[in-house]
Structure 1
Amino acid sequence: MRSSIFLKRVSLRNYKSIASCDVRLSPLTYLVGANGSGKSNFLDALHLVRDALSGSLDNAMNERGGLSEVRRRSRGHPTHFGIRLEFELPTGEPGHYAFTVGAVPSGYEVQREECCIGGIGKGPFFELERGRIIKSSETAFPAVTADRLALVSASGLSAFRPVYDALIAMGFYNLNPKVIRELQKPQDGRLLKPSGENISSVIGHLARTNPTSKQVIEDYLHAVVPMVHGVERETVGPMESLSFKQDMAGDKNPWRFLAQNMSDGTLRALGILTALFQGNSDHSPSLIGIEEPETALHPAASAALREALERASERTQVIVTSHSPDLLDDMKIEPESLLVVAAEEGVTRIVPLGKGSREVMRQHLCSAGELLRLNQLNPDPVSPDTPALKQAELFGEPR
């Protein structure tokens, strides 16, 4: 069976609080760190790529406050930021996509951009500098400008379309119970939106096209909230909502309640589970990123949530941010699936688990959750000369 891993390695430079990071990802990766350590900034860098390709770089930057809010702040005032993604396409072909964005008097420009599938000289590739083609495997390349990512234009070429499609199919979620609770306009229900603003349409779409996934969502929701036995899309005039079947004392048949009557924890759990098990053979996320899935859930629900994350990661790569010992309290969690996020003097470090902590977990002496409770979930120590603290190389062949 093909691995669910889409992004194999991520390198960032000067992105928000992250000066430099270079990490490998697993089918299920936990980014573990305290509040304010920079976990969300890592996911946001991937989210920016998705937004810039599916919309425009200008909109993606403006939604984050512009270049000055995206690039790292420091005494040296970096003038640029860079992102490199090493991936494996559904066909099994490896490749990488990288770009840097820097300041110019008129605002910003894409200083350099590179995409390669299968290795330079082995498959399709292009390299641009400031909107000009430097190298390309293609005899004809569409017109590009320095204020946009060239991969958007290159997606019109069959050689690069798979990369574009996979990158815009990444989904990032910070589920909002208030948004899920409100009446929603009927929308495209193929893929869930970031806050859950189209979840009613997604549940309705799954009921029609993938009832098996809908049943999985309902089964896990029942494990998390035992009184709830099912959920359906409900038409409310020109709008729509969700209705839940829930046990009531003294009645052998469940009652139906609209989303507006359900707790934050129930709605957030439904949103997380829908994000994990959405899609079908025609439309599925290539990667799912979820911010602190344990929020608003009772600690007793952690085992069911963890099982859902593991099951979903068998078909779609999953990245979660967390600082919950309960969620990580499982001896089966592999040390390689953990990345420790720590902030030192305002600079975020994202590195693998330290050797000592890895050995403790491999020998099943403590779970990751127990180590976190003991404040012993330590990062791999590095010196200024190790690659982890050097500027990540963004371009060229995979290292």
Structure 2
Amino acid sequence: MMKTDGLKEFIAGNADTYLFGGPKLTPHIEVKMCFGQNGYDFELAATEDGFFLINNEKRHYYPYNATKDLGSGNFNPELLNDRHGSVMNTEHNASCYTYNAITSWKIYHFHDTSKEAGMRRYNDQAHGAKLFMDGSNIAPFLLNVKKSNIDAYNEMINALRLVIPFFDDFILEPNDNEKLRLNWRQKGLQDYPMRPTLLSDGSIRFVCLAAALLQPEPPTTIIIDEPELGLHPGALAILAELIEDASRRTQVIISTQSPALIDHFGIEDVITVNRKNGASIFKRLDEKDFNVWLEEYSVGELWIKDVIPGGYSRRPCS
């Protein structure tokens, strides 16, 4: 939605498939979001030709109780036009803040670690400003962090050494075509550079996870799908520490199937997803509901034993 005709391109004439049970059962999708002192609401209603119209679009600035109705019947959000106001603490500035927050969100999905995956291949040095969602530009990104924020880069290296004990450092040197890949050195073999193909799937995936969670200028929301895949059980504790550290600086949402990973978090950090009457219901757990159980069992064990709703034996949605 946050680019001209972006919603139309994404839906591609298949709006009905996004409506639960079709448009007769679900006439529209209603969205309400809060960004600290700002808010943004809208509805998506399917047209006959399978696209979405944006209706009842509003944005809010709560300290002044200021709400602006941005209109209805548009294929592009009016927020794109309203955001150009620049006066601080006014209705216009709320649109700019909301737009920047939404466009900053990053979804990371580091599942593809094959030989053909971008994270193992050469990438253009110029593509290092932001980490791509699949980690395909990991080498240029690390080089950019190393040049601009050596402390953040060293944090990443230290985290990797905890998980990969034989790892020393990366060799981030562009070739004559200004391209580079994730070459690295092993401890004790300073004169024998290693290629990215010599990193295991779990190791190179953890490189991307550390880069995403320790990046010096994180997006307003980081979303990572199943970060536990391929990781050694001992690495999960380090991953959990990185997630907690990142959550102090920005919003972090993790989708996981791992009881071992959630063992490293408090029960109130967990949101379960269950189906009720065909719909997905998201619920944050409350510690007081599990106090007696937690005296003897960990959070992950309660999940496996099906004490936590959406338990492991029923294969939870996330």
TM-score (norm 2): 0.84
More helix by share: 2
CA contact (8 A) 1:108 1:147 kept: yes
**Which of 39, 46, 71 matches 2:19?**
71
**Which of 85, 92, 109 matches 2:53?**
109
Equivalent positions of 1:147-186 (< 5 A) are: 147-158=75-86, 159=93, 160-175=95-110, 176-177=112-113, 178-186=117-125
Hey, what does 1:241 align to over in structure 2? 181
**Which of 267, 277, 280 matches 1:348?**
280
Report the alpha carbon displacement of residue 346 of structure 1 after superposing the two structures with TM.
4.4
Query: Matches of 2:155 and 2:212 in 1, distance apart?
Result: 12
Equivalent positions of 1:254-265 (< 5 A) are: 255-265=192-202
CA contact (8 A) 2:70 2:79 kept: no
Structure 2 SS opposite 1:257: coil
Given the alignment of the two structures, is residue 191 of structure 1 paired with residue 124 of structure 2, yes or no? no
CA contact (8 A) 2:118 2:137 kept: no
Given the alignment of the two structures, is residue 365 of structure 1 paired with residue 296 of structure 2, yes or no? yes
**Which of 318, 321, 329 matches 2:252?**
318
Structure 1 SS opposite 2:131: coil
**Which of 128, 134, 140 matches 2:70?**
128
Given the alignment of the two structures, is residue 286 of structure 1 paired with residue 220 of structure 2, yes or no? yes
Report the alpha carbon displacement of residue 108 of structure 1 after superposing the two structures with TM.
2.3
Query: Matches of 1:86 and 1:98 in 2, distance apart?
Result: 9
Hey, what does 2:11 align to over in structure 1? 61
Give percent identity, aligned residues only.
Answer: 23
- 2:202 is matched by which residue type in structure 1? G
Provide closer, same or farther for how the CA distance between residues 184 and 376 of structure 1 changes in structure 2, counting only shifts above 3 A. same
Query: Matches of 1:260 and 1:174 in 2, distance apart?
Result: 19
Hey, what does 1:303 align to over in structure 2? 237
Instruction: Encode CA deviations 1:130-152: one digit per residue, 9 max, x unaligned.
Output: 24xxxxxxxxxxxxxx0011111
CA contact (8 A) 1:54 1:168 kept: no
Report the alpha carbon displacement of residue 201 of structure 1 after superposing the two structures with TM.
1.8
Query: Matches of 2:278 and 2:171 in 1, distance apart?
Result: 45
Query: Matches of 1:117 and 1:99 in 2, distance apart?
Result: 15
Provide closer, same or farther for how the CA distance between residues 125 and 263 of structure 1 changes in structure 2, counting only shifts above 3 A. same
Structure 1 SS opposite 2:154: helix
- 1:108 is matched by which residue type in structure 2? F
Hey, what does 1:26 align to over in structure 2? none
Query: Matches of 1:157 and 1:75 in 2, distance apart?
Result: 36
**Structure 1, unpaired ranges of 5+:** 1-51, 89-93, 132-145, 381-399
Report the alpha carbon displacement of residue 72 of structure 1 after superposing the two structures with TM.
2.3
Provide closer, same or farther for how the CA distance between residues 263 and 357 of structure 1 changes in structure 2, counting only shifts above 3 A. farther
Structure 1 SS opposite 2:102: helix
- 2:182 is matched by which residue type in structure 1? L
Query: Matches of 1:173 and 1:365 in 2, distance apart?
Result: 35
CA contact (8 A) 2:156 2:211 kept: yes
Instruction: Encode CA deviations 1:342-394: one digit per residue, 9 max, x unaligned.
Output: 23564322112266653247x553321221232222269xxxxxxxxxxxxxx
Structure 2 SS opposite 1:85: strand
**Which of 205, 220, 226 matches 1:268?**
205
Aligned CA-pair RMSD: 2.5
Hey, what does 1:97 align to over in structure 2? 40
Shifted more, 348-357 versus 108-117: the winner is 348-357
Instruction: Encode CA deviations 1:97-131: one digit per residue, 9 max, x unaligned.
Output: 11111112243210221110125xx1553213324
**Structure 2, unpaired ranges of 5+:** 87-92, 312-318
Provide closer, same or farther for how the CA distance between residues 289 and 360 of structure 1 changes in structure 2, counting only shifts above 3 A. farther
Report the alpha carbon displacement of residue 261 of structure 1 after superposing the two structures with TM.
2.9
Query: Matches of 1:254 and 1:216 in 2, distance apart?
Result: 24
CA contact (8 A) 1:202 1:278 kept: no
Provide closer, same or farther for how the CA distance between residues 266 and 338 of structure 1 changes in structure 2, counting only shifts above 3 A. same
Structure 2 SS opposite 1:270: helix
CA contact (8 A) 1:53 1:152 kept: yes
More strand by share: 1
Query: Matches of 1:328 and 1:87 in 2, distance apart?
Result: 26
CA contact (8 A) 1:290 1:319 kept: yes
Instruction: Encode CA deviations 1:197-217: one digit per residue, 9 max, x unaligned.
Output: 222221111011111111111
Give the number of aligned pairs: 297
